[in-house]
Amino acid sequence: MTARVRLHLDQPLAPGQPLTLDRDQANYLFAVMRLGPGDSVLVFNGRDGEWRAEVTEAGKRGGALRATEPTRPPRLPPDLWLLFAPIKKARTDFIVEKATELGAARILPVQTDFTNAERIRQDRLQAHAVEATEQCGGTVVPEVADLQALARLLAAWPADRHLLWCDESRAGPAAPLASLPRGPWAVLIGPEGGFSPAEQARLRAMPQVHPVSLGPRILRADTAAVAALTLWQAALGDWA
């Protein structure tokens, strides 16, 4: 039977391995998707690729599966981080979902001088990353970090990780990225008010930073995140 549901389970996957479902997962499979014993589900844990599993127990408050066979090997995303300043709730959710779909390995919300949001719900954003991975066919869920100060993050920035700084002051033709070096990368998207003069000076002084334009128009933060990740993937990522 063809499986029509994918589920992330942080449990070992092997032939015959029993898998337990929590209440929310059971509700989704049995009340929402109307699955029952004998039906197939695709599962992944971020380590062992994707597996087919069979429903062995269906209940209102829980349930069980049994892993049967691998269906897809693990596929790691590129070594790419996304740094972004949180904005309104729904648009922050959008950024996390699209960054997951576009192959970011880590998602790091940052507090800049002009960031409006002072806190985030890291657990809720991580759940959005899980759901996006289930939907897009990925086998690894990106880590969503808790909010941290951009200045602190830059102070400990790895010497070997390049940083693509989407600098709105460079609005104009988008620069080609294919000539940039390969290796570990991160993309930095600023807040709606842009970066402060002090932040701009600090970024320009870092040898790992590559300032780029995203085109002739100023983009909203959520649009900029999608545009930058797409450009990077097409030039330097696993689309190239």
**pLDDT tens digits, one per residue of 163-189:** 999 998 877 676 679 889 999 999 999
Both tokens of 121, joined, read: 């719900």
Model confidence at 19: pLDDT above 80? yes
* Domain shared by 67 and 94, yes or no: no
Dist. CA 97–CA 216, nearest whole Å: 26
Tell me if 13 is assigned to some domain.
yes
pLDDT digits (tens, 9 = 90+) for 128-144: 999 999 999 999 999 99
What would the mean pLDDT of 109-135 be, rounded to a whole number?
93
Q: State the pTM of this model.
A: 0.92
Q: Are strands 63-72 and 18-21 parallel, antiparallel or unpaired?
A: antiparallel
Out of 72, 90, 116, pick the residue that ends a domain: 72
* Domain shared by 92 and 67, yes or no: no
Tell me if 1 is assigned to some domain.
no
In 3-state terms, the chain is what percent helix, strand and coil (to 5)?
30, 25, 45
Res. 1 pLDDT band, cuts 50 70 90: low
* Domain shared by 84 and 53, yes or no: no
What would the mean pLDDT of 108-123 be, rounded to a whole number?
90
* Domain shared by 101 and 201, yes or no: yes
Out of 17, 37, 72, pick the residue that ends a domain: 72
- DSSP three-state, residue 221: helix
For residue 137, give the CATH number of its domain.
3.40.1280.10
What would the mean pLDDT of 28-54 be, rounded to a whole number?
96
* Domain shared by 90 and 133, yes or no: yes
Tell me if 47 is assigned to some domain.
yes
Q: Could you give the residue ranges of the DSSP H alpha helices within 5-86?
A: 23-26
* Domain shared by 100 and 185, yes or no: yes
* Domain shared by 32 and 85, yes or no: no
* Domain shared by 165 and 225, yes or no: yes
* Domain shared by 84 and 68, yes or no: no
Tell me if 95 sits within 8 A of 60, measured CB to CB.
Answer: no
For residue 65, give the CATH number of its domain.
2.40.240.20
* Domain shared by 212 and 109, yes or no: yes
- Structural domain boundaries, residue 147: 80-236
Which has more pLDDT, 193 or 3? 193
Tell me if 189 is assigned to some domain.
yes
* Domain shared by 44 and 98, yes or no: no
The total domain count for the chain is 2
pLDDT digits (tens, 9 = 90+) for 62-80: 999 999 999 999 999 999 9
* Domain shared by 126 and 184, yes or no: yes
Out of 72, 102, 128, pick the residue that ends a domain: 72
**Phi-psi label, residue 38: left if phi above 0, alpha if psi -120 to 50, beta otherwise:** left
